[in-house]
Amino acid sequence: MAEAAAEQTVQEYINHHLSFLTFGKVDGHWGFAHTPEEAMEMGFWAVNVDTLGWSIFLGAAFLLFFRSVGKRATVDAPSGIQNFVEAVFEFVDARVSEGFNYKNDLIGPLCLTLFFWILLMNTMDLVPVDLITKGFEIFAAVVFGFEHAPFKIVPTTDPNITMGMSVFVFLLIIYYSIKNKGIGGFLSELAFHPFGKWMMPFNLIIEVPTLFAKPISLGLRLFGNLYAGELLFLLIASMLGYWQLPAHFVWAVFHILVIPLQAFVFMMLTIVYLNAAHDKPHH
């Protein structure tokens, strides 16, 4: 890692590692962006191939792992892996039971998926910053002639990933709010609460931003915490030379607390928001 940093200035090193492997259309042609400027020109429909690919890979690994353990599960002599999976199930089930007061068979599997998927994506932040990225740079240079190709491996440091998950949860909030309260009940909550129908303008000023703040807070909180953690790892790798390994270890130990905590917070807020979406309108 120190050698990679020595070949570049600290700013160039950090900017490179904070860039995405972006695929899109620029100057009438489809391809990978070779500079941040090209990535910006690709616009909204550009795809960050690296973070999207890693998120799909980790999600598939999670599903296959749990499916494999479930198929081999036994009551007589459970393995250590089975005990681990059961502990995760019980932990998530307990949180759903405590925070969700209605019956909905979707909430448990949704929260389990969100918690473990985000946990896996966050854990990628513990991989040394140059370990996989440098290998991909060499591969891209040899195979595609793409010099210094960026390759991020932590999906939750990409706001497209975190906001994508939060928008999905937000759509579920809207769906269950309308399903359980009716369109009239849902709109009346926005217009008539908390001060009554005669204060509708003030109610809307409070309730509409509060509603849209839910997906923004979900996505940006997760992104901000993981982005800050990754940035500190990059600063350690680029500036501390031979001291980077002890410093990396110290920050990684602290970061181990952040990784599951952010997955837990995202899951718990999802439970709280969906529980509120199932509440019947108050009269």
* Contact status, residue 135 vs residue 116, Cβ threshold 8 Å: no
Annotated active-site residue in 101, 217, 238, 275: 217
CA atoms within 13 A on the CB side of 150: 24
Q: Beta partners for 24?
A: 31
Catalytic status, residue 225: yes
Catalytic status, residue 67: no
Annotated active-site residue in 97, 225, 238, 275: 225
Catalytic status, residue 79: no
Annotated active-site residue in 166, 221, 238, 275: 221
Q: CA dihedral in degrees (12, 250, 137, 6; nearest 10)?
A: 40
Q: CA dihedral in degrees (38, 44, 50, 53; nearest 10)?
A: -150
Catalytic residue positions? 217, 221, 225
